[in-house]
Amino acid sequence: MTIAKGQPWGELAPLPASAPVVATDADAAGHDVVGLLGGDLCRTLGGRGSRERLSSTEAMTFPVDALLVSLDGARPVRAVAHVVARTRGWRKVFVAANAQWIGPLNVVPRGHPDDGLVDLLAWDLGWRAARQVLARMRHGAHLPHPGISASARTSVMVAFDAPRPVWVDGVRVGRARALSVTVEPDALRVVV
Distance CA 88, CA 189 (A): 35
Kindly report, residue by residue over 11-50, the tens digit of the pLDDT: 999 999 999 999 999 999 999 999 999 999 999 999 989 9
**Domain spans of the chain?**
20-65, 66-185
Distance CA 22, CA 168 (A): 16
Kindly report, residue by residue over 64-92, the tens digit of the pLDDT: 999 999 999 999 999 999 999 999 999 99
Look up the CATH number of domain 66-185. Answer: 2.60.200.40
Q: 135-153 as b/e, with b when 16 or more CB fall inside 10 Å?
A: eebeeeebeebeebebebe
Distance CA 79, CA 89 (A): 24
Please give the model's pTM, rounded to 2 decimal places: 0.94
How far CA 123 is from CA of 99, 108, 150, 184, in Å, comes to 19, 14, 9, 25
Element housing 60 (H / E):
strand 60-71
